[in-house]
Amino acid sequence: MMQTDLQTRKRRGRLGRDVQTKLGKTLQAYFDDVIKEGVPDRFKDLLQQYDERKDKGTS
- Which residues of this protein are in contact with another protein, per CB under 8 A? 2-3, 5-6, 9-10, 13-16, 18-24, 26-35, 37-40, 42-44, 46-47, 50-51, 54-55, 59
Shortest Å distance, C-beta 13 to another protein: 7
Nearest to 15 by CA among 26, 2, 28: 2
| CA dist list (Å): 24 to 1, 16, 17, 49, 58 | 24, 12, 10, 37, 46
DSSP code, position 39:
S
Shortest Å distance, C-beta 15 to another protein: 6
Shortest Å distance, C-beta 50 to another protein: 5
